[in-house]
Chains A and B, each alone.
Chain A
């Protein structure tokens, strides 16, 4: 299922770069997802304040 490596030197990020968008989706996800955690934490804080 994994694509053969085409770039000159194999590397972790090169490996995640499996096909169109895999690498960039991975990076966007790890940046954005924790915001959900922050959202619920802040929601709880606002509820407690009331």
Chain B
């Protein structure tokens, strides 16, 4: 790596993690496109790469690229926060290669072998067949080992170096994140018990530990990019942790309405998860407020230049604040009450929420971290936008927003026809699917998906080339 400005090995490892994350991000979008085409043309790759396989790769690539980017982000910020080099970085680097190798093998098995006979061998070596965590059990064990290595790196470094509020939150959060994965590793004949624990992984990841992670990263970003005061930022962070975990942990009840679990979950799920958007509003206010405050203070001193030291990253961070609130908060609240969820559960409504929430809450901030890494690696003092970075962020955001709106509309007709009117039978399902609103929405979803993918290509180009661009201040 020529012209590498990184002196810290931890940051070096971070760039590896973020690079592989970006590659998987591309794979996620590619398989998403295949699945979107299959909604419009059901014969596309039928019997070769069926919808189920395209979708497994779509959602697993999503989860895995985010985990990679999250690990990368932590390795990136650790030296800045603790003031020391990450401890055990050699083992961390080894774990990285183990992780990459495991993911490549799992993807190849999903692509080439796809399904197996109904036996334990299939569960161990081909697929576990549980949405989002289909990875076979051998890979589960590998992932746990890698995650524990990462957590060990984080804890040893956090305990020896300066233990800031951000590092404290990350330490607590990441151990819960790794531990929760264990809840998704066993087999049971009882599908209610199966789904009960399955949600411990899925929900307590994306609606609790990942959200707190985002809070910590946003706090770090505000300090590095606009020079916000640590005291203010960390107070906000603690408030966010209290609100996120306070609402998110028992908010899990909104997944326990219809899976065989007792009726009392209606009440717990509805009223805790109804509060889940509140911390997301708080985060949004907090990011914009801190920006205005530091910029205002600088202007008052007669300095009219921008306080932002990394324009493209900051755009993605602000998008995160807004997208998290809109995608996870508003779109989630749409269908979180049981009286509504009875009809929307398992329709494209969920899918609309999933697309905007994963993008708004996680993809945005992690792409922001990629830009921060590009800045650090190239020794840039103030990083500016390029035409490509503006086009990339506009097309990706516009594309995802368009897909979300299309899927939401597809959800209307499913809820009204398939569910409320006809009661969710086989015929009801296809009646809903053949409605004009549904079929047109699927066309639009595909168009918007293509726009998102083109935006991704621009993003990849920008991340690879902007570091050498002479517009930045060095």
The interface of chain A, by Cβ under 8 A from chain B, is 6-9, 11, 13-14, 16-17, 20-21, 23-24, 27-28, 31
0 or 1 for each of B240-270: is its CB under 8 Å from A? (1 = yes):
0000001000100000000000111001101
The tally of CB-CB contacts under 8 A between chains A and B is: 34
Residue of B nearest to A10 (CB): B262
Instruction: Report chain A residues within 8 Å CB of B246.
Output: 31
* Least distance between B256 CB and chain A CB atoms (Å): 12
Q: Report whether B271 and A13 are in contact in the complex, using a CB–CB cutoff of 8 Å.
A: no
* Least distance between B200 CB and chain A CB atoms (Å): 18
* Least distance between B241 CB and chain A CB atoms (Å): 13
B391 CB within 8 Å of chain A: no
Instruction: Report chain A residues within 8 Å CB of B263.
Output: 6-7, 14, 17
0 or 1 for each of B311-342: is its CB under 8 Å from A? (1 = yes):
00000000000000000000000000000000
Q: Report whether A13 and B262 are in contact in the complex, using a CB–CB cutoff of 8 Å.
A: yes
Candidate in B246, B262, B267 with the most chain A CB atoms within 10 angstroms: B267
C-alpha spacing A23/B270, complex, angstroms: 11
* Majority DSSP secondary structure for residues of B touching A: helix
* Least distance between B55 CB and chain A CB atoms (Å): 34
Residue of A nearest to B242 (CB): A35
Since A11-B262, A17-B267 are in contact, a sample of 4 more A-B pairs with Cβ atoms closer than 8 Å, ordered by chain A residue number, is: A6-B263, A9-B262, A21-B267, A28-B272
Residue of B nearest to A11 (CB): B262
Counting chain B residues whose Cβ lies within 8 A of the other chain, the interface size class is: 10 to 19
* Least distance between A10 CB and chain B CB atoms (Å): 10
Instruction: Report chain B residues within 8 Å CB of A8.
Output: 262
C-alpha spacing A16/B250, complex, angstroms: 16
Q: Report whether A14 and B271 are in contact in the complex, using a CB–CB cutoff of 8 Å.
A: no
Which among A11, A20, A27 is the interface contact of B268 at CB below 8 angstroms?
Answer: A27
Instruction: Report chain B residues within 8 Å CB of A14.
Output: 262-264
Residue of A nearest to B265 (CB): A13
Residue of A nearest to B262 (CB): A7
Which among A6, A9, A21 is the interface contact of B271 at CB below 8 angstroms?
Answer: A21
Q: Report whether A28 and B271 are in contact in the complex, using a CB–CB cutoff of 8 Å.
A: yes
Residue of A nearest to B246 (CB): A31
